[in-house]
């Protein structure tokens, strides 16, 4: 039982970090984790 | 839900009005498609709620920066998602002539308006008397309120007026007949329009504003004395240095107790959890990964809050604008534009808004230099790293009779960041030729007593973000580090444990020895040992190396990583500081000597350990070239400086 819980927690942590890295470099928004200042990529038309 | 906009010139007390109206019902998002933060909140009265959007401060509807452009974009397009049902225009009562330009532009757009004449206390002190009834008669279709938002005067009346406001289209006598906004690139017609408006405003001021003899002569004199001394060519810098030094002293003297309390509580909670829960892998994850990781975040909350509290006071009183003013003179010889000062000062809190603020620099080369040196200013994410290492290697004693050595060391780290930013900027100035002359315009607000509610709301927001946003990343990395430190390839850990030979010399530390052997043969131990030869000349062991790698995500991750690495396989958790203090190398000497501690701090002053900053630089420069240049030059600088510092002090 404990092993399953550990697997779920580690899987969640890895997925979360992959999502964070993707968000920083490839999505529209990137945010500083310490102060939450964020920036949205300008649209091509603006 | 109705949507209202809050607009006004910078330094009109717009934020105070916003905070008074929304309280804690506010959040920060983004305007669609642009890089500008959108602060919005809800105003509640009885059962009714109104959405209030706080727009960036601007002097005119015609923009000079990308921040200001959002005002033009929204108000020129009634189909815009954020186009408001009504506008609250905040003006500074003591400076109506300049402030009314924006008001007249919004007025002519035929959107329902509440004109908020704020800072009435300062106007009174300056002997300015505004005929509000006369203004109401002049503009019968709009609502006018007098407020002093800093202390809450007039806010109840304002709230009532907001909810009584009819938001249907209004018809009124326009200042400029058939007014439509000039195209954004047609500066000639904009100038023409602004000139017409100022003619109208001058007449308005003549009719409705009277300047009496100053009511509180003495107080005004006192203010001008402080004004003079705070921007004095010599005393200005001395005062700035003393203020900053005092803040760093406070960080250590006040935060020491809550820091020890949090550290100790987490260590106790960790031991208690280990005892109460059934033995197993999940319990190990809790006691070796999750709880130390969480402790690593929370233990530095007091320092971060104290720093932002002090900076909040400096900003609220109007001192920060004066600090920016004197820093401008200092920075010019190093090739930095006066406009670089605001981004660089902002970078002392966080490099991201600092780099975003470089958009106000019209000269592209100067802007690039500012972007390249901005991350050298010590941001708030470095505080946990510096305070941990200072507490470890710098004795808590007084020097020169009144200075705390730990606080002084922190001040030196910040100072090192500023000096290196200036030197690098100077070098870049030589490499990148620039012929354009630039100028710097800054409005210096009057000195005033701080509004504590503003400071505490901002403190609450910053604390919440640090715990919940930085906390999530630190926690996730701690969990992964725990997994990498708990398992090894095949049965390598078991074999290594079997091969441990206890002798009469090491049997007393058998638990410590076994923990160390397990860690060294785990995945993370193998990775750490692989990179150790590269970082050994800097005085770092493989555990520090692992934390350097993980803190590339964000600097503060360093602390959580150290907490996890040191607690895995340990049977009793003594708290991070205590464990690190007791850590010995193979020669039996402390790992965290003065030389190693200083070398590590200097490394963090220079190294580009922030993924978010690299992403922003890539976006702002629209190429991968500059973030890579920045990563490489800062990495080399960090390595060489650490090497020098380690060899000097060891």
Q: Say what the pLDDT of residue B279 is.
A: 85
Residue B265 CB neighbour total at 10 angstroms: 14
Residue found under tokens 């290594």: B496
Q: Which of A18, A28, A39, A41 to mutate to test the interface with B (most CBs of B within 10 A)?
A: A39
B510/B202: higher pLDDT: B202
d(C-alpha B217, C-alpha B214), whole Å = 6
Would you say residue B169 has pLDDT above 90? Answer: no
The percent of residues above 90 in pLDDT, for chain A, comes to 11
Q: What is the mean pLDDT of residues B178-192?
A: 80
d(C-alpha B4, C-alpha B42), whole Å = 10
Would you say residue B35 has pLDDT above 50? Answer: no
Q: Which of A2, A33, A40 is opposite residue B280, by nearest beta carbon? A: A2
d(C-alpha B45, C-alpha B149), whole Å = 18
CB contact under 8 A, A6 and B30: no
CB contact under 8 A, A17 and B612: no
Determine if residue B325 is left, alpha or beta; phi over 0 gives left, psi from -120 to 50 gives alpha, anything else beta. alpha
Strands B48-54 and B2-8 turn out to be: parallel
Chain B residue at shortest CA distance from A25: B615
Strands A29-31 and A38-40 turn out to be: antiparallel
Considering only A26-40, B484-498, B562-576, which range has the smallest mean pLDDT? Answer: A26-40
- Confidence grade of residue B1 (pLDDT, cut at 50, 70, 90): confident
- Confidence grade of residue B31 (pLDDT, cut at 50, 70, 90): very low
Q: Which of B472, B483, B613 is opposite residue A16, by nearest beta carbon? A: B472
The percent of residues above 70 in pLDDT, for chain B, comes to 89
Determine if residue B46 is left, alpha or beta; phi over 0 gives left, psi from -120 to 50 gives alpha, anything else beta. left
Burial call B46-74: b when 16+ CB within 10 Å, e when fewer: eeeebbbbbbbbbbbbbbebbbbbbbbbb
Q: Say what the pLDDT of residue B600 is.
A: 95
Q: What is the mean pLDDT of residues A19-41?
A: 63
The two structure tokens encoding residue B86: 């009504």
Q: Say what the pLDDT of residue B214 is.
A: 57
Would you say residue B578 has pLDDT above 90? Answer: no
**What does the pLDDT look like over B346-378, one tens digit per residue?**
787 778 777 877 776 767 778 888 899 999 988
pTM equals 0.64
Q: What is the mean pLDDT of residues A6-33?
A: 79
Residues forming beta bridges with residue B426, ordered by sequence position: none
**What does the pLDDT look like over B146-162, one tens digit per residue?**
998 888 888 889 988 88
Q: Say what the pLDDT of residue B373 is.
A: 93
Q: Say what the pLDDT of residue B635 is.
A: 94
Considering only B280-289, B348-357, B514-523, which range has the smallest mean pLDDT? Answer: B348-357
Would you say residue B594 has pLDDT above 90? Answer: yes
d(C-alpha B568, C-alpha B546), whole Å = 14
B449/B502: higher pLDDT: B449
CA–CA min distance B554, chain A (Å): 7
Q: Say what the pLDDT of residue B24 is.
A: 63
Q: Say what the pLDDT of residue B33 is.
A: 46
Q: Say what the pLDDT of residue B36 is.
A: 55
Considering only B70-79, B249-258, B429-438, B604-613, which range has the smallest mean pLDDT? Answer: B429-438
**What does the pLDDT look like over B294-331, one tens digit per residue?**
887 787 788 778 877 887 888 888 888 888 788 777 77
Average model confidence (pLDDT) across chain B: 82
Would you say residue B38 has pLDDT above 80? Answer: no
CA torsion B583→B587→B589→B592, rounded to 10°?
-60
B435/B61: higher pLDDT: B61
Q: Say what the pLDDT of residue B27 is.
A: 61
Inter-residue contact B102 to B59 (CB < 8 Å): yes
Residue B606 CB neighbour total at 10 angstroms: 23
CB contact under 8 A, A3 and B281: yes
Q: Say what the pLDDT of residue B361 is.
A: 72
Q: Say what the pLDDT of residue B266 is.
A: 87
Q: What is the mean pLDDT of residues B13-38?
A: 68
For residue B31, list chain A residues with Cβ-Cβ distance below 8 A.
Answer: 40
Considering only B332-336, B403-407, B440-444, which range has the smallest mean pLDDT? Answer: B440-444
Closest CA to B330 of B242, B246, B420, B422: B422
Q: Phi/psi at B155 (nearest 5 deg)?
A: -75, -35
Q: What is the 3-state secondary structure (H, E, C) of B147-206?
A: CECCCCECHHHHHHHHHHCCCCCCCCCCCCCCCCCCCCCCHHHHHHHHHHHHHHHHHHHH
The two structure tokens encoding residue B625: 């070239």
Q: Say what the pLDDT of residue B34 is.
A: 45
Query: Length of chain A in residues, anyone?
Result: 46
- Confidence grade of residue B502 (pLDDT, cut at 50, 70, 90): low
Q: Say what the pLDDT of residue A46 is.
A: 27
CB contact under 8 A, A24 and B477: no
**What does the pLDDT look like over B63-99, one tens digit per residue?**
776 667 788 888 888 888 889 999 999 999 988 888 9
Q: Say what the pLDDT of residue A44 is.
A: 29
Considering only A29-38, B103-112, B167-176, B379-388, which range has the smallest mean pLDDT? Answer: A29-38
Q: Say what the pLDDT of residue B67 is.
A: 67
Q: Which of A19, A25, A32, A41 to mutate to test the interface with B (most CBs of B within 10 A)?
A: A32
**What does the pLDDT look like over B116-126, one tens digit per residue?**
999 888 888 78
For residue B349, list chain A residues with Cβ-Cβ distance below 8 A.
Answer: 35
Would you say residue B32 has pLDDT above 50? Answer: no
Q: What is the DSSP letter of B143?
A: E
d(C-alpha B567, C-alpha B274), whole Å = 12
Q: Phi/psi at B648 (nearest 5 deg)?
A: -70, -40
**What does the pLDDT look like over B5-24, one tens digit per residue?**
999 988 788 888 988 888 86
Chain B residue at shortest CA distance from A7: B282
For residue A6, list chain B residues with Cβ-Cβ distance below 8 A.
Answer: 281-282, 285, 483
């Amino acid at each position: 039982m404990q092993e399953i819980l550990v697997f779920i927690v580690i899987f969640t942590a890895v997925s979360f970090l992959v999502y964070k890295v993707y968000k920083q470099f490839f999505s529209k928004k990137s945010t500083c984790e310490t102060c939450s200042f964020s920036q949205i990529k300008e649209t091509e038309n603006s | 839900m109705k949507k209202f906009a809050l607009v006004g010139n910078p330094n009109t007390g717009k934020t105070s009005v916003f905070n008074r109206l929304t309280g804690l019902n506010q959040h920060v998002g983004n305007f669609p498609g642009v890089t500008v933060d959108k602060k919005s909140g809800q105003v509640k009265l009885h059962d009714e709620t109104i959405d209030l959007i706080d727009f960036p401060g601007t002097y005119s509807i015609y923009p000079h920066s990308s921040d200001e452009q959002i005002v033009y974009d929204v108000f020129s397009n009634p189909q815009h998602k954020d186009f408001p049902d009504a506008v609250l225009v905040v003006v500074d009562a003591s400076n109506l002539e300049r402030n009314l330009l924006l008001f007249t532009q919004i007025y002519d757009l035929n959107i329902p308006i509440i004109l908020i004449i704020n800072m009435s206390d300062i106007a009174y002190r300056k002997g300015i008397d505004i005929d509000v009834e006369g203004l109401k008669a002049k503009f019968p279709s709009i609502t006018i309120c007098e407020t002093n938002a800093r202390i809450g005067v007039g806010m109840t009346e304002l709230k009532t007026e907001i909810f009584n406001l009819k938001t249907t289209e209004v018809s009124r006598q326009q200042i400029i007949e058939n007014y439509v906004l000039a195209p954004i690139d047609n500066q000639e017609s904009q100038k023409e329009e602004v000139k017409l408006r100022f003619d109208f405003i001058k007449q308005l001021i003549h009719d409705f504003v009277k300047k009496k003899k100053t009511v509180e002569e003495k107080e005004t004199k006192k203010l001008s004395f402080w004004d003079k001394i705070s921007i004095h060519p010599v005393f200005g810098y001395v005062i700035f240095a003393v203020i900053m030094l005092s803040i760093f002293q406070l960080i250590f003297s006040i935060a020491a107790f809550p820091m020890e309390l949090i550290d100790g509580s987490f260590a106790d909670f960790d031991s208690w959890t280990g005892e109460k829960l059934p033995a197993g892998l999940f319990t190990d994850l809790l006691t070796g990964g999750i709880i130390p990781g969480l402790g690593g975040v929370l233990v530095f909350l007091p320092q971060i809050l104290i720093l932002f509290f002090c900076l909040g006071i400096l900003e609220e009183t109007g001192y920060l604008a004066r600090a920016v003013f004197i820093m401008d003179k200092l920075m010019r010889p190093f090739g930095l534009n006066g406009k670089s000062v605001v981004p660089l000062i902002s970078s002392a809190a966080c490099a991201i808004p600092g780099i975003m603020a470089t958009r106000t620099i019209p000269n592209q080369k100067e802007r690039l230099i500012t972007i390249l040196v901005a991350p050298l200013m010590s941001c708030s994410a470095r505080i946990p790293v510096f305070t941990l290492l200072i507490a470890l290697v710098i004795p808590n004693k007084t020097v020169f009779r009144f200075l705390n050595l730990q606080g002084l060391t922190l001040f030196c780290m910040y100072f090192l960041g500023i000096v290196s930013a200036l030197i690098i900027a100077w070098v870049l100035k030589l490499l990148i030729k620039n012929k354009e002359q630039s100028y710097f315009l800054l409005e210096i607000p009057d000195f005033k007593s701080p509004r504590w509610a503003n400071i505490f709301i901002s403190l609450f927001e910053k604390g919440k973000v640090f715990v919940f946003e930085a906390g999530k990343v630190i926690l996730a990395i701690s969990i992964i580090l725990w997994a990498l430190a708990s398992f090894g390839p095949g049965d390598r850990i078991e074999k290594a444990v079997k091969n441990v030979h206890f002798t009469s010399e090491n049997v007393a530390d058998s638990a410590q020895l076994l923990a160390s052997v397990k860690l060294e043969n785990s995945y993370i131990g193998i990775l750490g040992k692989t990179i150790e030869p590269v970082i050994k000349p800097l005085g770092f062991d493989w555990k520090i190396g692992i934390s350097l790698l993980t803190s590339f995500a964000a600097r503060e991750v360093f602390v959580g990583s150290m907490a996890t690495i040191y607690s895995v396989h340990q049977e009793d958790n003594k708290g991070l500081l205590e464990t690190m203090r007791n850590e010995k190398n193979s020669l039996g000497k402390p790992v965290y000597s003065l030389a190693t501690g200083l070398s590590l701090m200097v490394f963090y002053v220079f190294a580009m350990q922030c993924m978010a900053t690299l992403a922003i630089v890539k976006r702002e420069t629209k190429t991968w070239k500059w973030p890579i240049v920045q990563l490489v030059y800062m990495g080399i600088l960090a390595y060489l400086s650490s090497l020098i510092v380690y060899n000097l002090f060891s």
